[in-house]
Amino acid sequence: MPGNGAVTRSTLRQQIADALRDEVLAGRLQPGRAFTVKEIAEQYGVSATPVREALVDLSAQGILEADQHRGFRVPEYSVDDYRGMIQARSLVTDGMFQSLAAGHPALRDPHDPRTAAALGTVRRRGEEAQRAAAAGDLSVLIGYDLRFWRELSALFGNPYLADFLHRLRVQSWVCAVQHLLRLSDLRGRLWSGHTELVDALARRDFTAARAVVADHNAHSLALIEKLAAG
């Protein structure tokens, strides 16, 4: 059927994008690493079209950069870039908390079965992220951290907000990983206040929630600045 080819191509596109994103977030594709569509197509044994689409998707997310006439490369973010990402994240989350305090319907009744179930799911992601942080397992932490924030922001019912925050957090991790991998042991070095944030939101204590996020941002920035300074 004509539709099968489109589905297959779309699936390949997503699989390639997921694989390359994981490579970048794991630090296996180093900042500045450049490659062409042909190179990736040969590596995965597929045609150029889904590869090109996957690379364009990753460029739109800030995970790769299009290098005119040469292909694509892993971006080389600076510490100043990281500060900017942290500031942008803060503006988004502060806006979320202010909106909740002003009466946004999300989390209005944490005891509502649907809200309670959604918060429970987010909290479980947070628990997994905290376990990974305690163990110093960066790859696992990144996966659960991204899911945690994606599902938390989804509670607002605004897909544009969720997508924007997700993009910021992915870019933050792309930048942070290149520095964090300089440490041979990450145990106890990574922020792990996910469940504190969920618990504060469940209590509708938005001042406490803002403080948890501020601690997260300050901790993350201080660590990256220290590592970048050598």
Extract long-range pairs of 164-170: CB within 8 Å, 24+ residues apart.
164/92, 165/89, 165/92, 165/93, 167/61, 167/62, 168/85, 168/88, 168/89, 168/92, 169/89, 169/145, 170/21, 170/25, 170/61, 170/62, 170/63, 170/146
Instruction: Tell me the pTM.
Output: 0.88
Q: Is the dihedral of CA 146, 148, 149, 155 positive or negative?
A: positive
The radius of gyration of the chain from alpha carbons, rounded to an integer in Å, stands at 19
Q: What is the pLDDT of residue 186?
A: 95
Structure tokens at 85: 């990402």
147/145 Cα distance (integer angstroms)? 5
Q: What is the pLDDT of residue 107?
A: 85
Q: How many residues does the chain have?
A: 230
194/145 Cα distance (integer angstroms)? 8
The answer to whether 20 and 40 have CB atoms below 8 angstroms apart is yes
Q: What is the pLDDT of residue 109?
A: 84
CA atoms within 13 A of residue 120's CA, in its CB half-sphere = 7
- Residue 97 CA, chain-centre distance (Å), reads 20
The strand pair at 34-35 and 71-73 is best described as antiparallel
Look at residues 84, 78, 1, 73 and name the one whose alpha carbon lies nearest to residue 30.
73
Q: Domains of the chain by range and CATH?
A: 2-73 (1.10.10.10), 79-228 (1.20.120.530)
DSSP strand E in the chain: where? 34-35, 65-67, 71-73
Cβ contacts of 198 within 8 Å, gap of 6 or more: 119, 122, 123, 126, 152
Q: What is the pLDDT of residue 4?
A: 39
* Neighbour count for residue 56 (Cβ, 10 Å): 16
Structure tokens at 70: 């040469």
Cβ contacts of 23 within 8 Å, gap of 6 or more: 29
176/50 Cα distance (integer angstroms)? 28
Q: What is the pLDDT of residue 83?
A: 97
Running along the chain, 230 residues long, what does each successive block of 10 average in pLDDT? 43 91 91 91 91 93 85 93 96 93 85 90 97 96 96 93 94 94 93 96 94 96 94
Q: What is the pLDDT of residue 10?
A: 63
